[in-house]
Amino acid sequence: MTWALRPIYLPDSHLPHGIADGNPTCRACGTSWPCAIAGEYLSAGRCVCGAATWHDRTTPRRWHDGPRCYTTEEAVQAEAAKLRPARPHYPPSHYYPPKPARPVKQRPPYRHTTAGPGDVGLGTWVWVAPGALHPGWGDIHHLAMITALGGPKCEVWLILDGTAHQARADRLTLSTSAGQRATGGAWLRWTIAQHLAHRVAGEPAEPTVQAAQLDLFGAPA
């Protein structure tokens, strides 16, 4: 048997065929996907709709078994709904004080997928809890990206209006619907402050792949 170097990335020849039909097969092997070769590069998960999902450990790619069940916007709204109280009460917008000036930036060129406790970095998507921002942004959860880590505050970029804020790390939690792993332990519910404390304590974080990609079509500042 001829020895061959194992590819760093999942070979294109072993990508799935017919995954939208719910019965994916390997393009090269013709067997049920993921095949033995593809399985070495994938992590299995479960979508909120119950369908199986697979995450490429070496790239941001992911696959959903069967037809797409929701859009990214719907997923974000669904997770936000889980964080709201059973009977939320939001005063009219004119009750909120005026928003003070905050820097407006293009979408930051960071991408980070949290793979374990303490594994947070630039590009981690988080929920900013009510009270972490100026009252002008309302008493609701905001989806944001971490653009600078620190304590007791981190800089975050709000997807709502592109503004940058200093928010307390103990008021930031991971957002699983915006790029994080959908499965994991109790650390998925940790605050960013807890993740940073875990890292300082010397506990090794699980390995992860980080990638940065410039968003060429970001909204102008």
Token reading at 119: 């594994």
Whether residue 12 is predicted with pLDDT greater than 90 in this model: the reply is: no
Check pLDDT > 60 for residue 43: yes
- Name the pTM for this structure: 0.53
Q: Which residue did the predictor score with more confidence, 72 or 221?
A: 72
Per the listing, tokens 């002008």 go with: 136
Predicted local distance difference test score (pLDDT) of residue 73? 67
Query: Is the model's pLDDT at 39 over the cut of 50?
Result: yes
pLDDT average, residue stretch 87-104: 74
Concatenated DSSP letters of 43-112: EEEE-TTS-EEEEESSSS-EEESSS----HHHHHHHHHHHHS-SS-----GGGSPPPPP--B-PPPS--B
Find all residues with CB under 8 Å of 5, minimum gap 6, and list them: none
Q: Which two tokens stand for residue 91?
A: 């005063």
List of domains in the chain: 12-64 (no CATH), 72-84+103-200 (2.30.30)
What pLDDT was estimated at residue 205?
Answer: 41
Task: Look at the block and give the residue holding tokens 């909204």.
Answer: 219
- Mean per-residue pLDDT of the chain: 80
